[in-house]
A and B are shown apart, each in its own frame.
Chain A
């Protein structure tokens, strides 16, 4: 695969002609009237949880796990003492918690039911799969409709399944790591997910296996008043490497939709996991996601997290640096347009000597959009020679845009090195005039300024994703100029 840095040196590559990755919200704003064979109804109580578990024919320990989680969820207050009060507008009793046409995903697109297949075709998923992916998992509402891994990867012993299937087929691996990185009671939304989770990916990469092409998951919400609660667990065994990418969209409904995922990563000794998210939610979606990884000795976990759209996103990917010399990195890009609030950031918990972490966050606030950075860096007193570097930059497009930065850095011990840099800049009138004088419209000029602002980060993405992100920014900026 070409890296984006090739663009300048190889002019013959026309990036504009690359296919979309299906995360364009304008193109994603459609839904089919699908009849669901399995529907847990509206609202949440013990029966909802029992229904989900029975539909999936789960082992008793999973049902117990779910029921305990439900209790935790109901007992926990919303974190509005520090977070936005908009959370109070999530109407938990009006949401549908489980909708599917069946629990067994198809191995070929031909077998996928028509409306669902059409959805993913419109989003371009099968096309990308042919072009550059090692495996694809396509989730439609609560369950995966399609799941396939290329033979060459499967033969190396790589497991790539949805969580429903993985619980059935590989309970011994699943159970060992499941809920260990993010305990049920971590926060109200991780508890909710633990009670009603469905779908999401399970990946196991055996010792020493390096998966050359990315594995991709696509999460699609189709139904109104729906909650999507996928649960992803990725285990990279010693010395292995894997890149996982996820894209998400939903149609634009007038009522609110909830997306509340839990993602757990485990990088064992010397393993590398790269987790890339590009999500472009409709402006009615509450996106409340918990993501965390544990990096063992000499392991590396890198989160690349791009948040566009949604009504409210709260997401702080984290790495627990558990083994010596483990490395963690979070690269976060958030674009908050009018009426949107992107509350994003990162957590780096240093729990072993000589661990290093990097956080780079760039946010863009457009119109009345609001971007918040929240960071947590923790280094204990008993540790030696840990390093963190945090950089958060904010770009404001209009004078009424808002950005806030809340870094929380706790450093004990006297051999650590921590660096924090923050900047706020504004796209000014002279810049826009300069670009307009070269023939760009005002929207094109703003879009170019925004793309320039995130360019150094986007260059690290696989090319297909950097092209898509650029296009998404173009679309967002087009709509924001009056």
Chain B
């Protein structure tokens, strides 16, 4: 089976180690929630897997379907099926969502293969209907002047269109309002299925009231320190992250 396998991963920003030996395997169809206090390396983990140039992998490996992706450019990893839903997605002035997605879909086709525009728009509109997104939305420039909720909607739509094998959802931001939270939750629940593995990074338990994870991992100081099922999230909510820190200190 093709899984996303993170093996003893160490990631540094400049000289500073952030992720310090993290291992995790995500199989298709599974939703893994990664929780943890701020500054513990959750976003770093996601960006490093996606290949952000500012993050250096100093040790360990990331395998997709048994093959290391670390030598691949970010766009190769994306085309291989890794999707990163950004915490702060960039604006691309003058490029409409429809044209942006079209370029992304075209980029996945073979050399000399031409995208069928009619089929593309048909599929786009299907996905928009599925996610209850207004048709007018895709003529707007990507993320330009978007509210927090609109940015999330844009990310979810891209994910729906690009049909990744693994989605890394970086939702760590505490600034997610109820609206944005709902959009992300509904989107993930709609797209959830046997072909999609999800790594859901979240700071708060409240997102997990809407997306029920198969596994919950607690990340602290660059490592996973505790894993369990959805009840772990509830336990965290009632006892706080200090509980994990204390347990660690005792161990």
Binding site for B on A (CB under 8 A): 8, 11-17, 428-431, 433-442, 444-445, 448-449, 451-456
Contact = CB atoms under 8 A, between A and B. Distances in A.
Given A13-B117, A448-B100, A454 B90 contact: no
A440 B50 CA distance: 13
19 contacts: A11-B117, A11-B120, A13-B117, A15-B117, A16-B114, A16-B115, A433-B74, A435-B100, A437-B50, A438-B100, A438-B101, A438-B107, A439-B79, A442-B73, A444-B103, A448-B103, A449-B92, A452-B94, A453-B94
Among A428, A436, A439, A440, the one with the most B-chain Cβ atoms within 10 Å of its Cβ is A439
Given A438-B78, A455-B94, A11 B73 contact: no
Contacts of A431: 90-92
B117 A451 contact: no
Given A431-B92, A434-B86, A444-B107, A439 B78 contact: yes
Contacts of A430: 90
* Majority secondary structure, A binding face: helix
A440 B103 contact: yes
Given A8-B98, A436-B74, A451-B95, A441 B90 contact: no
A336 B96 CA distance: 25
A439 B104 CA distance: 6
Nearest to B91: A431
B8 interface: no
Q: Top 4 nearest A-B pairs by Cβ distance?
A: A452-B94, A11-B121, A455-B94, A452-B95
A448 B96 CA distance: 10
A453 B141 CA distance: 11
B89 interface: yes
B78 A454 contact: no
A13 to B, nearest CB: 7
B118 interface: yes
A437 B74 contact: yes
Contacts of A11: 98, 117-118, 120-121, 124
B92 A448 contact: yes
Contacts of B226: none
Given A12-B117, A452-B93, A436 B141 contact: no
B108 interface: yes
Interface string B41-83: 0000000001111100000000000000000011100110001
A434 B50 CA distance: 10
Contacts of B216: none
B98 A438 contact: no
A451 B94 CA distance: 7
A17 B114 contact: yes
Given A11-B117, A451-B94, A452-B92, A440 B139 contact: no
A17 B115 CA distance: 10
Interface in B190-215: none
A442 B75 contact: yes
A361 to B, nearest CB: 16
Given A8-B98, A436-B51, A440-B75, 9 more contacts: A12-B118, A12-B121, A434-B89, A435-B100, A436-B75, A442-B75, A444-B103, A452-B95, A455-B95
B158 interface: yes
B232 interface: no
Interface residues of B, number: 41
A16 B114 CA distance: 8
B126 to A, nearest CB: 13
A176 B118 CA distance: 53
Among B50, B74, B121, the one with the most A-chain Cβ atoms within 10 Å of its Cβ is B74
B116 to A, nearest CB: 8
Nearest to B89: A434
Contacts of B162: 438-439
A478 to B, nearest CB: 13
Nearest to B77: A437
Contacts of B53: 429, 433
A458 to B, nearest CB: 9
Given A433-B53, A448-B100, A438 B90 contact: no
Contacts of A451: 94-95
Contact of B78 (A14, A437, A455): A437
Nearest to A12: B118
Nearest to B108: A439
A12 B122 CA distance: 9
B107 A440 contact: yes
B84 interface: yes
Contacts of B115: 14, 16
A237 to B, nearest CB: 38
Nearest to B106: A16
Contacts of A444: 103, 107
A445 B108 CA distance: 14
A183 B175 CA distance: 64
B238 to A, nearest CB: 36
B121 A453 contact: no
B158 to A, nearest CB: 6
Among A12, A14, A440, A451, the one with the most B-chain Cβ atoms within 10 Å of its Cβ is A440
B104 A440 contact: yes
Nearest to B118: A12
Among B89, B93, B162, the one with the most A-chain Cβ atoms within 10 Å of its Cβ is B93
B95 A438 contact: no
A436 B141 CA distance: 17
A434 B90 contact: yes
Contacts of B138: 8
